[in-house]
Amino acid sequence: MRILLTGGAGFIGSHLADRLLEHGHQVVCMDNLITGRVDNIAHLAGNPGFEFVKHDVSNYIFVKGSIDYVLHFASPASPVDYLTHPIKTLKVGSLGTHNSLGVAKQHGAKFLLASTSEVYGDPLVNPQPESYWGNVNSTGPRGVYDEAKRFAEAITLAYHRSHGIDVRIARIFNTYGERMRHHDGRVVPNFIDQALRDKDLTIYGDGTQTRSFCYVSDLVEGIMRLMDSDLNGPVNIGNPVELSVLDFANRIKEITGCKSGIVFEDLPVNDPRVRRPDITRAKEKLGWEPKVGLDEGLKKVVEWFRNNYPG
Ligand code: NAD
Ligand code: UDP
């Protein structure tokens, strides 16, 4: 297939590009590099199956040649990034999704949206099944990301119902791995970066809030299976092993062997208290579940940070 991958120079997008090329597909990677990096795709330069187009997908998208699948991954994803770029985040979730769906419609291509666990907001149900409607504060600071993705889901299914586009929606939960930027503000790169410099780990709030972390190779496998499925509704893709941010900080301290302490800082507004995917649907319909344990994944990423961001 010839695949348009928006956000392909980002953390997840670049890993997905690698896997798609391994499977013999052609990848047109479209990215404006707002939070992505050319370094993430530099190794693909010269690969005859790979093209990079620098473009903001919130503006009209033109792609030369045929397209069989559109994978829409473009969007700031770290809370620090989307709080820095609130309007661009709203635009890429709304206009960018609209334009990407337009490409799928024009080419008769399938479409997959990278949605998020943030559509559940600060959930009142734990773990979160796809049937849960969520608890989002539309006017709070995180609303720019949550509502953009909720709109993206709504327009994706409207294109399916009104135009017959064959769509998929992946609700991605916290994913970590190599190629995350050390300063992107998310908890995994923050803690690893701090630990490798023997700086205090910054816990926001009291650290009792929970998250469930999925290693990127597992996530990519889930996306590949979802692409090949016939599921038009949302599917949670994440690792259901839940732990508190305090326990997570202690895992990082143990794995890195750092001399860091812990400092407690203010909890960001509307920071979800709990988050854990119910992956029953992915297990039953995709035969998918994560394979890489937290310590195993973190050891790889710590090693990558040591080599790529030497102190
Ligand atoms: P990332 O910031 O590394 O990648 C996002 C990419 O999109 C970047 O390369 C960025 O430059 C590009 N981009 C943003 N706006 C664009 C625009 N208007 N036009 C073209 N390109 C644009 O983040 P990531 O973690 O790789 O996330 C990728 C996708 O997965 C996002 O849609 C995100 O919402 C979703 N997601 C990620 C996670 C996670 O834990 N990593 C969780 C849930 C959802
Ligand atoms: N967090 C933290 N210290 C940091 C960065 C994040 O305690 O240096 C917390 C954050 O408040 C949240 C959790 O870690 O409760 C996960 O944050 P992240 O930014 O990775 O993503 P989120 O899951 O909130 O989208």
Q: Give me the CATH number covering residue 202.
A: 3.90.25.10
Q: Distance of CA 97 to CAs 55, 137, 142, 240, 255, Å?
A: 14, 22, 19, 28, 39
User: In terms of domains, do 41 and 152 share one?
Assistant: yes
Checking if the pLDDT of 241 tops 70, the result is: yes
Do 275 and 173 meet the contact criterion of CB atoms below 8 Å apart?
A: yes
Task: State the pLDDT at residue 311.
Answer: 60
Task: State the pLDDT at residue 220.
Answer: 99
Report the separation in Å between the CA atom of 311 and the middle of ligand 1, taken as the mean of its atom positions.
Answer: 26
Ligand 2 atom index nearest CA of 174? 23
User: In terms of domains, do 101 and 247 share one?
Assistant: no
Please list, in sequence order, all residues whose beta carbon lies within 8 angstroms of the beta carbon of residue 2, skipping any fewer than 6 positions away. Answer: 25, 26, 28, 65, 66, 67, 68
User: In terms of domains, do 120 and 269 share one?
Assistant: no
Do 186 and 145 meet the contact criterion of CB atoms below 8 Å apart?
A: no
3-state secondary structure of 3: strand
Alpha-helix runs per DSSP H in 47-142: 79-84, 86-107
Task: State the pLDDT at residue 120.
Answer: 98
Catalytic residue among 120, 145, 159, 176: 145
When the pLDDT of each residue in the chain is averaged and rounded to a whole number, the result is 98
Q: Kindly state the DSSP code that residue 2 receives in the 8-state scheme.
A: E
Does 123 map to a domain?
Answer: yes
User: In terms of domains, do 51 and 187 share one?
Assistant: no
d(CA 183, CA 181): 5
Sign, CA dihedral 92-98-102-104, equals positive
User: In terms of domains, do 94 and 185 share one?
Assistant: no
User: In terms of domains, do 84 and 110 share one?
Assistant: yes
Position with higher pLDDT, 179 vs 310:
179
Please list, in sequence order, all residues whose beta carbon lies within 8 angstroms of the beta carbon of residue 179, skipping any fewer than 6 positions away. Answer: 11, 14, 15, 37, 40, 304
User: In terms of domains, do 259 and 111 share one?
Assistant: no
Top mutation candidate among 4, 5, 6, 12 for ligand 1, by most atoms within 8 Å of CB: 12
Q: Which ligand sits closest to the CA of 117?
A: 1
Structural domain span for residue 105: 2-175+214-237
Q: For the chain, what is the domain count?
A: 2
d(CA 229, CA 240): 21
Residue 154 belongs to domain with CATH number: 3.40.50.720
Question: What's the pLDDT tens digit per position in 81-97?
Answer: 999 999 999 999 999 99
Nearest CA to ligand 2 atom 12: 271
| End-to-end CA gap in the chain | 42
Confirm or reject: Cβ of 209 under 6 Å from ligand 2.
yes
User: CA-CA-CA-CA torsion for 194, 198, 200, 203, nearest 10 degrees?
Assistant: 40
Residue 5 pairs with which residues in a beta bridge? Answer: 29, 71
Task: State the pLDDT at residue 206.
Answer: 98
d(CA 177, CA 41): 15
Residue 187 pairs with which residues in a beta bridge? Answer: none
Confirm or reject: Cβ of 212 under 6 Å from ligand 1.
no
69 is catalytic: no
User: In terms of domains, do 298 and 256 share one?
Assistant: yes
Nearest CA to ligand 2 atom 16: 187
229: left (phi over 0), alpha (psi -120 to 50) or beta: beta
Top mutation candidate among 118, 184, 186 for ligand 2, by most atoms within 8 Å of CB: 186
Checking if the pLDDT of 279 tops 80, the result is: yes
Report the separation in Å between the CA atom of 259 and the middle of ligand 1, taken as the mean of its atom positions.
Answer: 33
d(CA 217, CA 2): 22
User: In terms of domains, do 13 and 60 share one?
Assistant: yes
Nearest CA to ligand 1 atom 37: 77
Question: What's the pLDDT tens digit per position in 128-144?
Answer: 999 999 999 999 999 99
Task: State the pLDDT at residue 121.
Answer: 98
Nearest CA to ligand 1 atom 29: 73
Nearest CA to ligand 2 atom 1: 187
